[in-house]
Amino acid sequence: MTQLDLLAKIERLSAIGIDLSAEKDHDQLLESILMGAKEIAGSDGGTLYLLQDDNSLHFEIIISDSLNILMGGKSGNPVTLSPVPLYDLNGNPNKRNVVSCAALENCIINIEDAYISSDYDFSGTRKFDAKSGYRSKSFLSVPMKNHEDKLIGVLQLINAIDPATSGVTTFTKEDEKLVSSLASQAAVALTRKDLIDGLENLLQALVKLVATAIDEKSPYTGGHCKRVPELTMLMAEAVNAENTGSYGDILLSDADLHELEMAAWLHDCGKITTPEYVVDKSTKLETIFDRIALVDARINLLEHEAEIDYLSSHAESNTNLDSKEAALHKKQEKLNELAEIRSYLHRVNTGGEFLSPEESEQIKKLANLSTKYSKTGQASPLLTSEETENLCISKGTLNDKERASIQNHIVATINMLNSLPFPEHLKRVPSIAGAHHERLDGKGYPNGLTAEQLPLQARILALADIFEALTASDRPYRARMPLSKALSILGYMTKEGHLDPDMFRLFVDRKLYLNYAEKYLVPEQIDPVDHESLPGYRCNAGSGVK
């Protein structure tokens, strides 16, 4: 090998090392390592082995130019050969195999001719050659060790090719040094990739752990933090699949998708600070317990008072039949009235989509009913001022203070996520997760962002969050909602400037709601949906999604 040839190989080694340090795909990295070693040493074939937990060297890639063989790596062709164990069944080191010996002895093994070598067992090689017509001659086996001096694999090259004659020759000392240098760089690249993947896997596991903890915190919202990411990614993939329309020229990269999925998993992490009694509030009067029981007790007392009034009237009119019948009729009317009041208060206590102003006035009038008899001698109102306020909640089961506590979870989410040192490719996770309660018309919270300030990822997450909440079958404050009603509510929210009309239309047109429903909703929720009748479905598109 001339000095010029050696210099060219050193330069090529440097270039390969740079490429290896930048490669992110594991299979491509393995393939680049072996192809680089083949190129530098000028070999016909080669194999890359990695050490696995079973103390065996597993074939990762096998290449032979003359036999046109490529298995493993990016080829998609599976490696069918059995691993090479470092130890036998008795625990003795396997030094008869050249690859395992190089690994165990931590040394480079250079074989000039496998057919005349007596130090190692090449019977398997000879059998392969007999079947394929190949002639395996020179071997170069180089161990790969990481920065902690631990074996991670072995790089083996087969049949060095003489560039002048194209015949098989032996591997030189220069080849040993160059391939050893490449093996060292390869080990660093592989270890670096494993460390990065390990940290990424750890981060994702911790994120899912936090989401699971939030879901487990409440028996009524269990699964929300797991289902929202799945629905979010379903929508994101639909955006990428569009070739025309509002999303025709939009393509979310793998990094964008990863960032969005992470934000979806963490979108409600602030709920870990929200009191359970607020999260779990299933009726308007519920605190530690449902205070409708206290209201029932007061109604029971009013019923007893009606009975007492009747008995008193009966005793005074025991000779007047008409008076007795009138008293009995009056008592029954009172009992019927109290039964209706009880039924009405139970109904409004469950919450719902809307309580009219007329019903609020009715509740305030009922609050003024009072008992005549009490231990203190003072009349007791049917409803306290706090109970009246709660029963007059117009939507849902939360009063203003409790709703503010719930809404504060998004502020807590933003603060918690902003305190984390996210890597560069996840820098937007806090802003995406923290914007899922914002609205296009600027009336959302916590920052009142407008359409121009809301990225596509936040719009996707917002719709996914609302649809999951509407269709969830584990919410305590309402019955299971059918698809048609949930989509109508989304439509009204779109029409009112809450949700992105382009995103809502895509959600409906591609029947993403149905894909999700078939997996997570109970059969009775999946009813027919008339797209054209949905409010907001024909809203103007072009809301600045880019």
Q: What is the pLDDT of residue 2?
A: 57
Strand-pair category, 109-111 with 151-161: unpaired
What is the C-alpha separation between 12 and 38, in angstroms, rounded?
12
What is the C-alpha separation between 105 and 154, in angstroms, rounded?
12
Question: Cβ contacts of residue 99 below 8 Å, gap of 6+?
Answer: 47, 49, 57, 84, 141, 154, 156
Question: Cβ contacts of residue 315 below 8 Å, gap of 6+?
Answer: none
- Structural contact between residues 81 and 59, judged by C-beta atoms closer than 8 angstroms: yes
Helical H segments across 79-122, by residue range: 98-105
Q: What is the DSSP string of 412-423?
A: HHHHHHHTS---
pLDDT tens-place string over residues 19-36: 777 677 778 888 888 888
Residue 508's H or E segment, with its range, is: helix 501-509
Q: Is 498's pLDDT higher than 90?
A: yes
Q: Quote the pTM value.
A: 0.65
> What architecture does CATH give domain 3-196?
2-Layer Sandwich (3.30)
- Torsion angle (degrees, nearest 10) of CA 141, 142, 143, 145: -160
Q: Is 124's pLDDT higher than 80?
A: yes
Q: Which CATH code of 2.30.130.10, 3.30.365.10, 1.10.3210.10, 3.20.170.30 fits the domain covering 218-275+401-533?
A: 1.10.3210.10
Helical packing angle, 456-471 and 501-509, nearest 10°: 60
Closest by Cα among 153, 160, 137, 133 to 68: 133
- Identify the band that residue 544 occupies on the pLDDT scale cut at 50, 70 and 90: very low
Q: Residues of the chain with pLDDT > 90: what percent?
A: 45
- Identify the band that residue 474 occupies on the pLDDT scale cut at 50, 70 and 90: low
Q: Residues of the chain with pLDDT > 70: what percent?
A: 88
Which DSSP state fits 93? B
* Distances in whole angstroms, Cα of residue 529 to Cα of each of 149, 343, 533: 63, 33, 9
Q: Is 534's pLDDT higher than 80?
A: yes
What is the C-alpha separation between 382 and 302, in angstroms, rounded?
9
Closest by Cα among 38, 44, 40 to 10: 40
The chain-wide mean pLDDT, for the chain, equals 86
* Distances in whole angstroms, Cα of residue 386 to Cα of each of 42, 177, 298, 352: 86, 84, 16, 19
pLDDT tens-place string over residues 407-416: 778 888 899 9
Q: What is the pLDDT of residue 204?
A: 84
C-beta contacts of 290-296 below 8 A and 24+ residues apart:
290/349, 291/387, 292/345, 292/346, 292/349, 294/387, 295/342, 295/345, 295/382, 295/383, 295/387, 296/342
Whether the CA torsion 185, 188, 194, 199 is positive or negative: it is negative
Query: Six-digit token pair at 145?
Result: 């060790």
Q: What is the pLDDT of residue 87?
A: 94
- Identify the band that residue 321 occupies on the pLDDT scale cut at 50, 70 and 90: low
Q: What is the pLDDT of residue 375?
A: 57
Q: What is the pLDDT of residue 513?
A: 96
Query: Six-digit token pair at 443?
Result: 């009336």
What average pLDDT does range 289-295 have in this prediction? Answer: 85
- Identify the band that residue 15 occupies on the pLDDT scale cut at 50, 70 and 90: confident
- Identify the band that residue 252 occupies on the pLDDT scale cut at 50, 70 and 90: very high
Collapse the DSSP code of 153 into the 3-class scheme (helix H, G, I; strand E, B; otherwise coil) and give the result: strand
Q: What is the pLDDT of residue 545?
A: 41
pLDDT tens-place string over residues 77-112: 988 889 999 999 899 999 999 999 999 999 999 999
Closest by Cα among 504, 522, 502 to 512: 504
Q: Is 297's pLDDT higher than 90?
A: no
